[in-house]
Amino acid sequence: MPYSIKEIEQLANPRNHDIKFDGYDYWWYSNINGKWSLHCIKPFKSHYKALYYIKYWLVKYSQEVANNESIFERITNNVINDVRIYDVVNSNVKTIEKVISILNIKPYLTQTEISEYLGISKMAISKHFKKLKYA
């Protein structure tokens, strides 16, 4: 069963894990949304083995949380950059200055992408690039 981001954040917390002994084997339990449930259907012969599994998965869950946070940060930065680009596009400055401003915001854009932002032909953008090259 795949976990949601909220559940993975809970699983990344060591306090949400426990090991129980039933008289024969050790069982790994986890607390998700305030409910303790069996986390691993495999019984462990020693509590050390169960502890090693928990430590391994705590690292994995923490990495997943960090990865999700970086993805959200990248998406947020892209949205902010797009807003800044559309502010430049809607400004009352010359096209060459718009091209320079857009390239300052997103230096990796192609001529085609810049032409789509500005609503002009790729050939016009190419001419502006030539002016920049010789200036």
Residue 82 lies in a domain: no
Q: Is residue 99 exposed (0-12), middle (13-18) or buried (19+ Cβ within 10 Å)?
A: buried
Domain stops at, among 23, 39, 74? 74
99 & 42 share domain: no
Q: Are residues 106 and 67 in the same domain?
A: no
| 103 and 42 co-located in one domain | no
Q: Please report, for residues 37, 47, 54, 72, the alpha-carbon distance to residue 99 in angstroms, rounded to integers and kept in the order given.
A: 57, 63, 53, 28
CA gap 26, 38 in Å, rounded: 11
Tell me the CB-side half-sphere exposure of residue 129, using CA atoms within 13 A.
15
State the total domains in the chain: 2
pTM above 0.75, yes or no: no
Per-residue confidence of the chain (135 residues) as pLDDT tens digits?
578 888 889 999 999 999 999 989 999 999 999 999 999 889 999 999 999 999 999 999 999 888 887 888 888 888 999 999 999 999 999 988 998 899 899 988 888 999 999 999 999 888 888 887 765
